Amino acid sequence: MSARLDRIRGGAHASVRHDSAVGHVTGRSLYVDDMPNVPGTLEAALLLSPHAHARIRSIDVSAAMAAPGVAAVIVARDIPGRNDIAPIRTDEPLLPPELVEYEGQPVAAVAAQTLDQARAAAKLVKIDYEPLPPVLTIEEAIERDLYVSPPQLMTRGDIEAGFKSAVHRIAGEVHCGGQDHFYLEGQIALAIPGDGGDFQIFSSTQHPTEVQHGVAHLLGLPFNAVTVEVRRMGGAFGGKESQATIIAGVAAVLAWKTKRPVKLRLPRDDDMRATGKRHPFLIRYDCGVDADSRIVALDLVLAANGGNVADHTPAVITRALCHADNCYWLPNVRFRGLPCKTNTVSNTAFRGYGGPQGMIAIETVVDVIARKLGKTPDEIRRQNYYGVERNNVAPYGMTVEDNIVERMLDELDRVAGLAAWRESVAAFNRTSPIIRKGLATMPVKFGISFNRPALNQAGALVHVYTDGSVTLNHGGTEMGQGLFVKVAQVVAEAFQIDIDHIRLSATTTGKVPNTSPTAASSGSDLNGMAALNAANQIKDRMAEVAAEHFDVPKSEIVFASNRVFAGNRSVSFPELAAMSWEKRVSLSATGFYKTPKLHWDFATNTGRPFYYFAYGIAASEVAIDTLTGETRVLRAELLQDCGASINPAIDLGQIEGAFVQGMGWLTSEELWWDDKGRLRTHGPSTYKIPGSRDVPPIFNARILDDAPNREDTIFRSKAVGEPPLMLAISVWLAIRDAVASLADYKVAPDLDAPATPERVLKAVDAIRG
């Protein structure tokens, strides 16, 4: 083999552009709604409940059925199978048979020749309701012991002994609000009945298998009679994990009833009213601190608004409990998770999945301790960080083996000059009574893996054709995050061929069955390893053919630079593919991967729920107007641990996007229900996501250099989808810092999230007395 070989294009660790980048900016990328309609396709619309809590006395669909173009109207009694689409527990109906439990709940659906006809007819369905008193707040649910699943408990040490040893005792509460996913592509599904009683579902979903199972249950079919396919989504963020089953389920039941294809797409207002969101939390804390500023006891209540049914709430609660330590050694803890039932939409998966709320809890505690003791939050953090050889076990029993948070803080300090930066903020405040600045850092330790061990598995299917081209399929879904191009890079690296030779095919349950959701930041870890497993099987077979061809041991065969070498002799990859076929060697393989080391006891909330941790740290500077409560983020410095990044360009995009999305959650994205339980912020005119002008004018995101994953992940990379979102907590903490500056940093502000102008102004007025 020659001494110098050209590097393949698009292998591992290269900054390759997103596979659909050109299609996205030119409009050529096809989404479900762009697919040409199958002849005879009907359009569907939903009728949503106007009440937060009511009994259904009667439903009359006769006027709707008589409307022009209408082919079918369905209510709960029309579902032929089991009316249950629960992702974790049971008894979560697609359409309510007797009781509506939130305003915006789908009650009926209409299929008609056109979308306008379907929407007009839906308004003609007559429902007689008996309104019932709704429960709308977490506090009322706690008072009445209303929960969507059993409360959870995580303990470690002796909390009462910890409190007795404490010099300081600090207690309080904080609220953090929910967040709408606000994906650009709304919820949509197309259901096509087959000629043998089977169904093809095109769904904008993160979890094709869950949609498959949900539709099969509703129609009374075996899973193999339902095939779900998705090529791409226009954003998801967790909102198309369980929620997509509602849309696909309605379309499928209508298709079953009419024996025609049915498409259901939700307009933005209906989408926001009918589908779940990030969980709002009420956090109550009681903390003991010793003379060295170390937390010696922490009693936390993490109460989540689960909405009307369990949905993902039990798992979100578990995840919140597992992140309420963040980066800190807490010897004596009692963490209680309360999954509160209210008459609002069932809240669901959202980027971070409980982790952000758990971290808000402990970072509030750190901030309050610092103000009470006259220290900075960073000083309190330094006293409480996990150790490396000792004080390194999380409250749930997992040893933190890869702790690099202090290294990352030192690196951020090196590039951003934190001391000088803080002095510049303090100097500004000394001469500015109206506009005040704040600065805060935020460390992050985020666990990677599903808490449920069974979900940590993936499959892949790889075909090599005789011209050397490759088709790749796996169980992960593409929602803009770059999963497809990353997994293609893995296969390119395995075969040592240019990524241009690899075609990515749509995710479908017909090719890779029993898939896990593309969630928990684990898409590349799981599907990348499964694809590598499949590619290596084929590569091993091809190596045997090459060894026979060159009459050398298989160990001397090397794949490199689009060729296959035996010493100085070589053939091209396509030539070897053709030879393999001639030798009747299979050029197709299914790959499989399961994450090692994981175990979890749901009864005790102990075990090893994560394969590893992804770390990050951020510093943000804000300005607040003390007369109006308005805020601006002036500068953000981010440092994220990506291990040995498979694609630095994609990862940087994820870091920046996650931070801005988190910033929106904590500053401007306020969900507001009136006293009748009606969501009033259900469109872009009333619900404020960050815009281009909200991005900090100084915004630097960096990937930590020379930090390969210590665990044997795909090419030693780390997950990046969720962890950077929590770096945005630095913005909320910086706003608190700016308010605290009005009292010489000695008083902790009473400030919930999101820090809207109204809340900031209220906090300012309280500080000033």
Residues with catalytic function? 722
Q: What angle do CA 641, 647, 652 make, to 5 degrees?
A: 55
664 within 8 A of 731, measured Cβ to Cβ = no
For the chain, report the end-to-end CA distance as a whole number of angstroms: 79
Token pair 């641990």 is found at 641
Q: What angle do CA 615, 616, 621 make, to 5 degrees?
A: 160
With a CB cutoff of 8 Å and minimum separation 6, the contacts of 360 are: 174, 176, 281, 283, 729, 732, 753
Nearest CA-CA partner of 735 in 309, 443, 363, 347: 363
| Neighbouring-strand partners of residue 457 | 594
Token pair 């960073």 is found at 378
How is residue 622 written in tokens?
A: 């804000």
Token pair 């099987």 is found at 537
Q: How far apart are CA 87 and CA 516, in angstroms?
A: 12
| Neighbouring-strand partners of residue 444 | 616
Nearest CA-CA partner of 140 in 54, 55, 57, 53: 53
> Residue 154: CA atoms inside 13 Å, Cβ hemisphere, count?
31
CA 604 to each of CA 60, 285, 318, 402, 420: distance values in angstroms, whole numbers, following the listed order: 49, 21, 11, 24, 46
Q: Give the number of other Cβ atoms within 10 Å of residue 97's Cβ.
A: 12
Share in percent of the chain as helix, strand, coil (round to 5): 35, 25, 40
CA 329 to each of CA 325, 362, 383, 395, 621: distance values in angstroms, whole numbers, following the listed order: 7, 11, 9, 8, 27
How is residue 394 written in tokens?
A: 């999380």
Q: How far apart are CA 718 and CA 521, in angstroms?
A: 9
Q: How far apart are CA 75 and CA 63, in angstroms?
A: 14
DSSP state letter for 107: E
Q: Is the previous residue joined to 754 through a cis bond, with omega within 30 degrees of 0?
A: yes
H helices within 643-754, ranges in order?
648-667, 729-740
SS3 at position 712: coil
Q: How far apart are CA 245 and CA 358, in angstroms?
A: 28
With a CB cutoff of 8 Å and minimum separation 6, the contacts of 490 are: 12, 528, 531, 532, 535, 646, 714, 715
Q: What angle do CA 309, 320, 520 make, to 5 degrees?
A: 85
What is the maximal distance between C-alpha atoms in the chain?
88
Q: How far apart are CA 470 and CA 459, in angstroms?
A: 17
665 within 8 A of 179, measured Cβ to Cβ = yes
Distance of CA 3 to the CA centre of its chain: 45
SS3 at position 123: coil
Classify residue 25 by burial, with Cβ atoms within 10 Å: 0-12, 13-18, 19+: exposed
326 within 8 A of 298, measured Cβ to Cβ = no
Q: How far apart are CA 416 and CA 409, in angstroms?
A: 10
Amino acid identity for residue 223 in this structure: F
Q: How far apart are CA 140 and CA 286, in angstroms?
A: 21
